[in-house]
């Protein structure tokens, strides 16, 4: 994995232009591994890794048994990828990793609450899509073969937790948040290894993963650029919750020449 430590925000814009078609994920701490919320939760609270597979299966089973009470169309729970996407959307730990096709959306998620160096990971999804990168252990497991949207494929290739593979893509039907964020998912075949380790088992003549470190000193410049591009919580999370979350940035973004209202003014 190649790592680039940025000197300024303009370098980020130039670099990501070269990564056309790749997928991006922002993380607010540059030291964090590239791993799912499920992996982090299991590592912190379930010490016996031999139980991880059964714990994941039980969590999904519990969600399916109860979530229908809150859904207008409960049939979507029968689709494994859509069920996991729904769990992820509402805050449950899952094996899905949120990525986006926009490097700027990824940068926002990396920087919004960062208090030190943050990072954006760029994944060469075109190589994975076009079979230019294949698992050395079993090169027959192409993206089309393991597609978790196909019937029984999640059970066969992912829930078994034995295949060191990655799949990237979206459910057949996308919710409003996924659309607003230009979102996509990366689905690992094992939950006890970070994505970097899984990709080490892939054969490819191309770079598959690039880590871009965003130093703390460039955060304010970057956040102002993103604000101008209308990349805020209000635009990324449609609804009142997104608007309320976006107010935090309003507390820190101050433009030069801004008029400070006097006491009692409507502003």
List the chain pLDDT tens, one digit each, 267 residues.
899 999 999 999 999 999 999 999 999 999 999 999 999 999 999 999 999 999 999 999 999 999 999 988 888 899 999 999 999 999 999 999 999 999 999 999 999 999 999 999 999 999 999 999 999 999 999 999 999 999 999 999 999 999 999 999 999 888 888 899 899 999 999 999 999 999 999 999 999 999 999 999 999 999 999 999 999 999 999 889 889 989 988 888 766 544 445 455 455
- For the chain, the domain total comes to 1
Domain that holds residue 73: 2-252
Please state, in angstroms and rounded to a whole number, the distance separating the CA atoms of residues 17 and 8: 15
Please state, in angstroms and rounded to a whole number, the distance separating the CA atoms of residues 40 and 35: 7
Q: Are 96 and 25 in contact (CB under 8 A)?
A: no
In a domain, 258, yes or no: no
Please state, in angstroms and rounded to a whole number, the distance separating the CA atoms of residues 250 and 267: 13
Strands 118-123 and 209-214: antiparallel
pTM of the full structure: 0.90
Q: Are 113 and 137 in contact (CB under 8 A)?
A: no
In a domain, 67, yes or no: yes
In a domain, 182, yes or no: yes
What is the predicted pLDDT for the residue at 175? 84
What is the predicted pLDDT for the residue at 265? 47
Please state, in angstroms and rounded to a whole number, the distance separating the CA atoms of residues 193 and 57: 18
In a domain, 265, yes or no: no
In a domain, 266, yes or no: no
Q: Are 208 and 133 in contact (CB under 8 A)?
A: yes
Residues 6+ apart with CB under 8 A from 240: none
In a domain, 261, yes or no: no
In a domain, 264, yes or no: no
In a domain, 263, yes or no: no
């Amino acid at each position: 994995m190649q790592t680039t430590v940025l000197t300024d925000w303009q370098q980020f814009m130039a670099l990501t232009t070269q990564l056309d078609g790749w997928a991006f994920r922002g993380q607010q701490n540059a030291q964090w591994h590239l791993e799912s919320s499920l992996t982090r939760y299991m590592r912190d609270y379930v010490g016996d890794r031999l139980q991880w597979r059964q714990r994941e299966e039980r969590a999904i089973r519990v969600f399916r048994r109860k979530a229908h009470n809150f859904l207008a169309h409960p049939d979507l729970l029968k689709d494994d990828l859509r069920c996991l996407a729904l769990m992820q959307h509402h805050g449950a730990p899952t094996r899905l990793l949120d990525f986006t096709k926009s490097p700027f959306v990824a940068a926002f998620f990396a920087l919004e609450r960062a208090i030190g160096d943050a990072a954006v990971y760029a994944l060469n999804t075109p190589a994975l899509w076009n079979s230019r990168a294949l698992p050395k252990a079993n090169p027959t497991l192409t993206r089309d073969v393991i597609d978790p949207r196909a019937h029984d494929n999640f059970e066969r290739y992912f829930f078994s937790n034995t295949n060191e593979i990655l799949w990237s893509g979206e459910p057949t039907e996308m919710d409003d948040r996924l659309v607003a964020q230009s979102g996509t998912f990366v689905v690992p075949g094992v939950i006890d290894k970070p994505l970097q380790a899984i990709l080490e088992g892939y054969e490819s003549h191309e770079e598959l993963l690039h880590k871009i470190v965003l130093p703390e000193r460039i955060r304010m410049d970057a956040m102002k650029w993103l604000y101008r591009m209308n990349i805020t919580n209000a635009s990324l999370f449609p609804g009142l919750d997104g608007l309320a979350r976006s107010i935090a940035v309003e507390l820190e973004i101050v433009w030069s020449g801004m008029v400070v209202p006097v006491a009692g003014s409507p502003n």
